[in-house]
């Protein structure tokens, strides 16, 4: 498995940044990198650790992208839509990076990094994707190929349940917020709107003898996923207690991540504040470690000064 950069990106600063990050990836993880130079814009490339080829853009598109069903499956759209302009008259692949293993398997579709208000998949952006590879290594590449939408989080849920970290009666995809929607004495249309606003599914509920666990899962521990899942579990817990007439002491909350930074032990101080903040709100944080299974990051964290 290797990374292929379709060069050159339009902006020279971004072009140099891509080359620098690819160099860092091969030095840190040993992942093979290469450059398919289809539009030379920014002068000679020197000191790059992988192969550099001068190529024709039409030939490269026909070889790597055109009618590539695997690529289409992994990115969720046909290559002719993702890598050509709206009229399909111009190929738009310069500045993108692809994952290659017996052909092109996956590729970025946007240059640079997303805006702050972007709510889609940030790994579509070349620089953001390379940053994720620098953080997670080859597992980030593996996650991009042959995955159906939502499969990553379902896999995390399955692994956590199978680990038996928390014992009890396990339920998946539990609907919560139903009592709020059902109690609205309004028209059917208003009822439907209320149901859409209030109801949602919790990834895991584990009913124990002393209390129930309300658990939400995410593929990876990073700033965006942490903020999202923390909010999810706080709301899901409140709705679950509302539906079942439970007090705060009747439930416990947790968030589960399928993976974290490559060296979790070396990153604990960096992750400590957010994890401590979660614990101060009564949320336990579990993360998968390949050597030790799921570990509870909040186990040894003090909640002092987490306001």
Average pLDDT value for the chain: 85
Count of Cβ atoms closer than 10 Å to residue 298 Cβ: 20
What are the residue boundaries of the structural domains of the chain, listed by start?
2-144, 151-300
Query: DSSP readout, 81-136?
Result: HHSB-TTS-SB--TTEEEEESSSEEEE--B-S---TT--S-GGGBHHHHHHHHHHH
What is the residue whose two structure tokens read 């899942």? 229
Handedness of CA 120, 123, 128, 134 (dihedral sign): positive
The confidence band for 307, taking pLDDT boundaries of 50, 70 and 90, is very low
Among 60-74, 149-163, 172-186, 218-232, which is the least confidently predicted range? Answer: 172-186
- pLDDT tens, 27-57? 999 999 999 999 999 999 999 999 999 999 9
- Topology (CATH) of 151-300: Trna Endonuclease; Chain: A, domain 1 (3.40.1350)
- pLDDT tens, 216-264? 998 888 777 788 899 999 999 999 999 999 999 999 999 999 877 655 5
Phi, psi angle pair for 286, to nearest 5°: -115, 145
> Going by C-beta distance under 8 Å and a sequence separation of 6 or more, which residues neighbour residue 70?
103, 104, 105, 145, 146
What is the residue whose two structure tokens read 């995410």? 218
pLDDT: which is higher, 297 or 181:
297
CA distance 31 to 18: 15
Query: Measured at the alpha carbon of residue 238, what is the angle toward residues 160 and 271, in degrees to the nearest 5?
Result: 50
Among 150-164, 183-197, 236-250, which is the least confidently predicted range? Answer: 183-197
- Using the predicted structure, report yes or no on whether residue 160 has a pLDDT greater than 50: yes
Decide: 52 and 19 in contact? Cβ < 8 Å.
Answer: no
pLDDT: which is higher, 98 or 271:
98
CA distance 18 to 12: 10
The model's pTM: 0.56
């Amino acid at each position: 498995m290797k990374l292929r950069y379709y060069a050159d990106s339009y902006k020279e600063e971004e072009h140099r940044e891509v080359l620098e990050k690819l160099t860092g990836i091969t030095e840190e993880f040993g992942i093979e990198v290469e450059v398919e130079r289809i539009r030379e814009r920014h002068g000679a490339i020197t000191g790059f650790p992988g192969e550099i080829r001068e190529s024709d853009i039409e030939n490269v598109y026909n070889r790597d992208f055109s009618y590539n069903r695997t690529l289409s499956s992994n990115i969720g759209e046909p290559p002719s839509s993702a890598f050509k302009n709206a009229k399909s008259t111009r190929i738009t692949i310069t500045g993108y990076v692809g994952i290659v293993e017996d052909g092109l398997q996956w590729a970025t579709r946007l240059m640079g990094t997303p805006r702050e208000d972007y709510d889609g998949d940030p790994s579509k952006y070349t620089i953001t994707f390379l940053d994720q590879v620098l953080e997670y290594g080859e597992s980030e590449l593996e996650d991009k190929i042959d995955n159906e939408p939502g499969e990553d989080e379902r896999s995390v849920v399955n692994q956590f349940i199978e680990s038996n970290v928390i014992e009890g009666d396990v339920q998946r995809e539990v609907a919560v917020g139903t009592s709020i929607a059902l109690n609205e004495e309004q028209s059917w249309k208003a009822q439907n709107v209320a149901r859409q606003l209030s109801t949602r599914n919790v990834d895991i509920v584990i009913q124990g003898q002393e209390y129930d666990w309300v658990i939400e899962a995410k593929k990876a521990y990073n700033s965006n996923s942490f903020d999202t899942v923390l909010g999810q579990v706080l709301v899901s817990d409140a709705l679950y207690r509302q539906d079942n007439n439970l007090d705060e002491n009747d439930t416990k909350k947790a968030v589960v991540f399928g993976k974290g930074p490559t060296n979790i032990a070396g990153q604990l101080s960096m992750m400590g504040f957010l994890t401590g903040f979660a614990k101060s709100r009564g949320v336990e944080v579990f993360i998968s470690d390949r050597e030790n299974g799921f570990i509870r990051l909040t186990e040894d964290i003090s909640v002092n000064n987490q306001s």
